Amino acid sequence: MRDVAIIGAGMIPFGRRDEDSLMDMLAYASLKALDDAGLGEKSVDAVYVGNMGGGIIQHQTSIASSLVDRLNLLPAAAETVENGPASGGSAVKNGLLAVASGYYDYVLVVGGEKMREVTGWRATDFVATMTHPQAEYPYGITLPGMAGMFTRLYMEKYGVTREHLLAVSLKNQEMGALNPYAHVEMTLDREGIFDSPHAVVNNPMAADPLHLYDMCPVSDGAAAIVLCPLEMAKKLAKPPILIAGFGQATDTHTLQERADPTDLKAVTLAAQKAFEMAKLKPSDIQVAELHDAFTILEIAESEHAGFFKKGEGGKAAAAGKTRFGGQLPINVSGGLKARGHPVGATGVAQVVDLTWQLRHELPKNRQVKNAQNGFSVNFGGFGNNVVAFVLRRVEQ
């Protein structure tokens, strides 16, 4: 197996992009990554597109085939990868394996989703299609609803409080406000959403015990990377970012069939595999992008990935340990909470943000000083299909 490096990274601002189609967004992000890689007119050997909802929302299938045609990357091999909200992470994994195997040299991976062209009612239903088709979906369960039930159990077992969730929300909104690619560039005020009469109006219950500002927004957006063998990447001007490790694991479809529904086994296993492959430990990581579709998930993932002991993640967030400048900055991009969550784009966007961090390309107010190793978790379903990556800066 060959070592594989990221040589190009690109993203378009997430948010409500009424003027752009899904294909527009995928093309814009792809061109940014291709230009960043400095490939010029050279084509790529293969394209992997992470997308969850094109078939449902846009009534469009064979999206990767359309993209290579639009970008004139013909006759590159092209595939669309669908793995729910972990579609982006899965697309990156497919690109990584294709280059590592020696079959392809240059691969473009792009993730994108256009969710705002339908009503919230329809978008909520679209996301809920990942729940169990007989045992869950018919009852009207939503992903926020799954998160609400999980949060109640997690609070009971580990003593997570609303203060802990609030710390994640305030932190990620603060960082998102500094990120020009973020969907929600707005800081939040503790009093406005937590302990004042205004909070009842500003931050209503959404999926008990989770409130509106415990949720990520519904977003449009796309992000892309270009991969090639590390040995070839070393000849380029920018520092190559090695995909040092990846892991993927699955768990039961329904929460109720897990021996302990608070145990996110797939996160633990995916993270362990990624660290093992990278020959690194959680303590070697300087910056992490975790899948905070709901504030509780950042806390739970930070524990299951091995950064904090069970029951300590919420306290760590409240103590500022996961803030920019803290012991382990988590979601310096603003995370899904503020950067946004165009589902198929998220896993790729996390890798793009880490690439920028490890290249030391970000402005001072978001650049983790001298970051060498980064980590991401892309959480599919309700933890039933998880993809994790360890990225490492390679000095030339």
Partner 1 sequence: MKKEIAIVGYKCKKCGKLHYPFHDRCLGCKGREFEKVKPQGKAKLLTFTRIYNLPWGFDQRYLTLGVAEFENGIKAMGQIDADEKTPLQMGMFMEPSWEPVRVQSGENVYGLKLTPLSA
List residues near partner 1 by CB under 8 A: 119-122, 124-125, 128, 132, 134-136, 138-142, 144-145, 148-150, 152-153, 156, 204-209, 252-257, 261
CB of 44 to partner 1, least distance (A): 38
At closest approach, how far in Å is the CB of 252 from partner 1?
7
What one-letter code names the amino acid at 170? L
Least distance from partner 1 to the Cβ atom of residue 131, Å: 9
What's the closest the beta carbon of residue 167 comes to partner 1, in angstroms? 22
How far apart are CB 124 and partner 1 at their closest, in Å?
5
Specify the residue, 61 or 256, whose C-beta has the smaller distance to partner 1: 256
> Among residues 43 and 254, whose Cβ is nearest to partner 1?
254
Please tell me the distance from the alpha carbon of residue 271 to that of residue 303, in angstroms, as a whole number: 11
Residue 22 contacts residue 54 (beta carbons within 8 Å): yes
Which C-beta is closer to partner 1: that of 109 or that of 155? 155
Q: What is the DSSP letter of 105?
A: S
> In terms of CB distance, is 52 or 285 closer to partner 1?
52
- How far apart (Å, rounded) are the C-alpha atoms in residues 156 and 361? 42
Contacts of 260 (CB under 8 A, 6+ apart): none
- Structure-token pair, residue 395: 């000095």
Q: How far apart are CA 349 and CA 278, in angstroms?
A: 21
What is the phi-psi region of residue 390: left when phi exceeds 0, alpha when psi lies from -120 to 50, beta otherwise?
beta
Give the nearest distance from C-beta 127 to partner 1 in angstroms. 8
| Cβ closest to partner 1, residue 78 vs residue 215 | 215
Q: How far is CA 15 from CA 18, 63, 142, 185, in A?
A: 9, 21, 21, 10
Complex with partner 1: residue 134 or 370, whichever CB lies closer: 134
Give the integer Cα–Cα distance in Å for 182 and 169.
14
Q: How far apart are CA 14 and CA 192, in angstroms?
A: 25
Minimum separation from the CB atom of position 128 to partner 1 (A): 5
- H or E element in which residue 234 lies: none
Considering beta carbons, is residue 124 or 327 the nearer one to partner 1?
124
